[in-house]
Chains A and B, each alone.
Chain A
Amino acid sequence: MGRTSSTKEDAGALFHSLRSAYAATLVNLKIIDLYVGFAIFTALIQVVYMAMVGSFPFNSFLSGVLSCVGTAVLAVCLRIQVNKENKEFKIIDLYVGFAIFTALIQVVYMAMVGSFPFNSFLSGVLSCVGTAVLAVCLRIQVNKENKEFKDLPPERAFADFVLCNLVLHLVIMNFLG
């Protein structure tokens, strides 16, 4: 009994600490974050609407959703450039987020139209997930705070990253069908 309440307190304390850490960011960054959130929310509303009434003028639906998504992505880019902290990590983080997001879009599309050429679906999703994973590995190896990778020069890490991506995309092209 006491333990559950203490976990609740701990969860609450966790939220507070995260929130206070976020509250320390600058005001203009918070404005950009709000804009991004609004854009994503609009995109979601359009997807729900399409799920209700059907996707007949598909180009209209796509253009609506992608305009929201695109402006969200651009706003995040702006946020990175305006932010004074580590730039290169934010770029990698953005790339990872973009890749995961593309994978999610493909999953949603598959849920709508079915997975008939299953190899094409798998190759699309796995290429996004794979390149996200490789970018995370690159980020780990380049980060100076990681003591385990002290003596790995960042050029070597990037070369490995490029090689693995090359192999990944060759396999994807073979598997696409």
Chain B
Amino acid sequence: MATMPASASDLLKSFKLKTKQQELLIRVSILCLVYILAFITRLFSVLRYESMIHEFDPYFNYRTTLYLTENGFYDFWNWFDYESWYPLGRIVGGTLYPGLMVTAVLIYRILRFLRFAVHIREVCVLTAPFFASNTTLVAYFFGKEIWDSGAGLVAAILIAICPGYISRSVAGSYDNEGVAIFALLFTFYVFVKAVNTGSLAWSLASAFGYFYMVSAWGGYVFIINLIPLYVLVLLITGRYSMRLYVAYNCMYILGMLLAMQIRFVGFQHVQSGEHMAVMGVFFLMQVFYFLDWVKHMLSDTKLFQAFLRITVTCAVAVGGIALGLGMVSGYISPWTGRFYSLLDPTYAKDHIPIIASVSEHQPTAWSSFMFDFHILLFLFPAGLYFCFKRLSDATIFIVMYGLTSMYFAGVMVRLILVATPAVCLISAIAVSATVKNLTVLLRSKNKVVQTGSTKGSGGSKSSSKALLDQSQPFQKNGAIALLFGAFYLLSRYATHCTWVTSEAYSSPSIVLAARGAHGNRVIFDDYREAYFWLRQNTPQDAKVMSWWDYGYQITAMGNRTVIVDNNTWNNTHIATVGRAMSSYEDEAIEIIRSLDVDYVLVVFGGVTGYSSDDINKFLWMVRIGGGVFPVIKEPDYLVNGEYRVDKGAAPKMLNCLMYKLCYYRFGEMLTEYGKPPGYDRARGVEIGNKDVKLEHLEEAFTTSNWIVRIYRVKPPNNRWWLNRYKFG
């Protein structure tokens, strides 16, 4: 009997690990669990619907990835696409960011090499969750670099489920941001590591990270402006050091050279106004190096101060003059509209309606912040406080990243994504530091009690210890209560994030779901039905005209040439389509014939109540068309400034091509019980013009729920010989 427990405890003791090993085991297991969690929380739409690509932009990425797998890299890099933007075509090789496609094809090749027979579509669908898992690992290392490993773990957990990041990286969202956020965080981590160690190898890694970011997303401009801003802040606060010099110079030269290998970026690093900051700071660093050398040679500090003043003012003046000359002579191009509208949010509304029309480019509401960040929103200022308490090169960086990205997140909804890693890291610092302080309180109380009991000396000491003992329980209880509170908040955060992911961010947009009358789930697959009809029932060289939103999907799934698509690089071409949609049928048919169009596609939500259809987008077509062709005037389509489609609507609205195509044969349709025929469920009114007759187009196909309607352009009438006789 006595030997059994002895051997059992000996057994346990033999398994017992040292504290360091225990800690390592806990850390590794937490990271593994977080890795898996980040992957599986993004799989809602794959489980509910099927493994397919969502939205609009990912279809273009998927089509290019298919092309890359079939034709190889050289053909992909030099690809001229004649199936979009008819008749202009598009130089795809020079106008896309290849990082995402190359990454997906690389993963596909590796899996194929290991004899897993996957289809490229599955790889594309699951690329974003895979890279989200990798981002959590990078966040752990970054948190460890800035603060300590505890903060790193919390950062990994927070970023794994944060809705701001999930929104653009669910399974099926095969878009640039899925890979780009990983590249962004990786570049920042490696650069901060390079500044901390001053090693050339880490600077080289940061140059490669920057290259990957440039190849993946146009948001690399944020990196190339944040890093010089950070270096400038370090220089101003007197933190110039040799490590900073080595890290920044190596990263600048190698990063700039690597970035210029991407054809879409080209020579922008030496010619565009958005990239001049990094060059200016490069020259400023040389000036600082020179000043350091002079300081080293001179032994007199007064002389050096004067020299410093003269040199810095001269250097800044020379730089300013050079920049001014460059901009005035036009060699350095000014900030483009997309990035200028970040500094001046009202710019796009007045000058570039295409940028203003995208819903993701609108300023952010408070509810969006709360929805996407939850408790991180008030942990962020707490984390800033902790960062300011322990200032170092790394914490200065994360503070700057957090503040600049929060400003941009406030200007444009889409940029909440860029702010998410910074918010997660800073909040992690707050959580980790608070929890550490609280647990230290818990532990120290036991030590004091022990020393009190072992010593047990004179009266005064015992009375003071008694006082101490009296306040200690309050502290200990307070600490326990606060710890429970923190645990409760974090669990609410996890619940909120999962709910948001399930409800809001997992819809594929191309397949719609609704609740039927009996509570059953009804699926509308009209988009794919229409595109496959196009693919199977139209001639190979047919050209389809639709609004630019659907261009990518039509070329990817319908495999037909389109007139305009989501790339929106040619405003006049889009305005031509907008003009055609908003004119009377006789004028529109001229434009349609001049563009060689065979089929016209519109999206209509009146039968199902789907509100993102072309009638709701129609005013943007008018605005964009009117921006180039003054014959289209927006007030013609409004009644007292109000947009209506019922009996009181403007006559031009009731007879324009878009109205006719959407409401053709709709006047006889009964959509809802108790309402008259022709009741538009999306607008909630009975339509004004029920008797729609089409002269030059005929209906080719309408999907089962009337969401997508396709019309064929009829050949010109047979009475040409009469016209010829009349006009000689």
Contact = CB atoms under 8 A, between A and B. Distances in A.
Interface string B173-204: 00000000000000000000000001111011
A14 B303 contact: yes
Interface stretch (A34-42, A60-68, A146-154): A146-154
A174 B250 CA distance: 19
A44 B72 CA distance: 52
Nearest to B299: A17
B246 A129 contact: no
A164 interface: yes
**Interface of chain B, helix or strand or loop or mixed?**
helix
Nearest to B269: A122
Interface in A107-159: 118-119, 122-123, 126, 129-130, 133-134, 136-138, 140-141, 146, 148-149, 152, 157
A146 B257 CA distance: 29
A2 to B, nearest CB: 13
B333 interface: no
B584 to A, nearest CB: 50
Given A14-B307, A175-B260, A160 B200 contact: yes
A137 B204 contact: no
A105 B273 CA distance: 26
Interface string A54-80: 000000000000000000000000000
A7 B200 contact: no
A175 B261 contact: yes
Contacts of B256: 126
A11 B310 contact: yes
Contacts of A167: 204, 207, 254
Interface string A1-27: 000001100110110011001000000
B693 interface: no
A95 interface: no
A172 interface: yes
Contacts of B289: 136
A17 B298 contact: yes
A11 B306 contact: yes
A101 interface: no
A149 B254 contact: no
Given A148-B243, A149-B242, A167-B204, A17 B303 contact: yes
Contact of B200 (A14, A18, A157): A157
B249 A164 contact: no
B306 A10 contact: yes
B354 interface: no
B268 to A, nearest CB: 12
A163 interface: yes
Q: Which of B242, B253, B256 has the most CB of A within 10 A?
A: B253
A17 B243 contact: no
A113 B298 CA distance: 43
A140 B250 CA distance: 13
A149 B198 contact: yes
B242 A148 contact: yes
A141 B200 contact: yes
A6 B306 contact: yes
Interface in B282-318: 289, 297-298, 300, 302-303, 306-307, 309-310
A164 B204 contact: yes
B245 A137 contact: yes
Contact of A168 (B253, B260, B306): B253
B253 A126 contact: yes
B267 interface: yes
B298 A122 contact: no
B317 to A, nearest CB: 15
Contacts of A7: 306, 309-310
A170 B292 CA distance: 33
Contacts of A146: 242
Nearest to A13: B303
Contact of A171 (B203, B257, B297): B257
B257 A137 contact: no
A152 B243 contact: no
22 contacts: A7-B306, A7-B309, A10-B302, A11-B310, A13-B303, A14-B306, A119-B267, A123-B257, A126-B257, A129-B253, A130-B257, A133-B249, A134-B250, A137-B246, A137-B250, A141-B246, A149-B198, A149-B242, A163-B200, A167-B204, A168-B257, A171-B261
Interface of A: 6-7, 10-11, 13-14, 17-18, 21, 118-119, 122-123, 126, 129-130, 133-134, 136-138, 140-141, 146, 148-149, 152, 157, 160-161, 163-164, 167-168, 171-172, 174-175
Interface of B: 198-201, 203-204, 207, 241-243, 245-246, 249-250, 253-254, 256-258, 260-261, 267, 270, 289, 297-298, 300, 302-303, 306-307, 309-310
